[in-house]
Amino acid sequence: MKKTIIVLLIFLSGVVEAKNIKVLLFYPRAETFWHRMVVLAEEAASDLNIEIESINGNDNHIQMLMTLKQKLQNDKPDVVVFNNFKTIGARFIEMTHHAKTHAFLINSDLQQEMKQKMGTPRTLFPYWIGQMLPGEEESGMEVAELLFNQAKTILAINGVHQTGAAIMREAALIKALKRRKVELKQILYAHKWARKPAALLTERSFRRYPNIKGIWTANFSLALGVLDGIQKKGLKAGKDIFVTGYDIPTELLQHIENGKILASTGGHFIEAAWAMVLIHDFFHGIEIPTQMQTPMAIVTKKNVDLYLRNVNDQKLSKEFIKKIDFKTYSKKYNGGKPYHFSLDSILEQL
């Protein structure tokens, strides 16, 4: 009888544990990058007995704030995971703090003035337990250098002005420019992180800057739009004009393979999954870093085959990623070993 009671208590404690960590994951829009982030995060949550709800912001930061307010009032989670889309990061941190709900920032950092106001995780806002951001600067500078090797007169096309990703990526470009004798004609901003606006900006730019030899872009949709604009002008990408991008979806990888895109960096769609590991450990009393960086892949024609084989809709589908055991990355299950978050280690399991 005593043994039965003990077994029952263990079972019940397991049920409580499974329901105890409830996570809301906000993401800006439905596109390849964010879809992969969500699918991987949900698989990690499943492995770690985390209840997760993923919320598409539909490119509407006001709606995201309203949804968060409603959730905090009526269906309060234990943790909210989010990025600094259209500078809403600080508001998310403040709102979760007042609701005594934990917050975890991923993907894009707070803008500089907000950093001074908000401090770092677990200082001024103790419910803000951590952040995990892409290693943007180092990888961004490396990609920019590859462009500079081919082009001495360049144009830059960035995404939505004052978003976290736009700020970080532009900062890496500017830092790289200080090291090299390269002429940057202008930094242009698309009103959306989208292909069509980038194509239009490219076409107009050739009228003003007919002698540019390179175009730096701040995400894959912008890079694809630039290719459209180059083609419409009757020029050849990879020969007349060199282009770099960010992120590594299949279409962009294919253009690296065929030589139209010089290089790109990415792989940080894995961040939300790593966040699940850290959140799991935090709620099990394990000390986690307040700030971490996600290692970024640099993809060129030399190594694009590796990513084409594994970073695609089939391999990153729910069916295949079930092969990944996210528990092995948790200190609770791996004997307290240091965190080793690596995209390559994920791809090797597919």
> 159-202, pLDDT tens digit by residue?
988 777 888 899 999 999 999 999 999 999 998 999 999 999 99
Query: In the CATH hierarchy, which top-level class contains the domain 19-134+268-296+313-347?
Result: alpha beta
Domain ranges of the chain: 19-134+268-296+313-347, 137-266
CATH architecture of the domain with residue range 137-266: 3-Layer(aba) Sandwich (3.40)
Q: Can you give the pLDDT at residue 32?
A: 84
pLDDT digits (tens, 9 = 90+) for 259-308: 999 999 999 999 999 999 999 999 999 999 999 998 888 999 999 998 99
For residue 71, pLDDT beyond 50? yes
Residue 302 structure tokens = 């030399």
pTM above 0.85, yes or no: no
**DSSP string of 264-302, one letter each residue:** EEE-GGGHHHHHHHHHHHHHTT----SEEEE--EEE-TT
Q: What's the mean pLDDT in 134-146?
A: 93
What is the rounded average pLDDT of the residues 39-48? 97
Res. 66 pLDDT band, cuts 50 70 90: very high
Sheet strands side by side (includes 51-56): 51-56, 22-27, 79-82, 102-106, 128-134, 291-294
Q: How many CB atoms lie within 10 A of CB 4?
A: 8
- Tell me: the pLDDT tens digits for 91-118? 999 999 999 999 999 998 898 899 999 9
Percent of the chain with pLDDT over 90: 81
Longest dimension (CA), the chain: 85
> Could you give the angle at the alpha carbon of 64 between the alpha carbons of 61 and 68, nearest 5°?
145
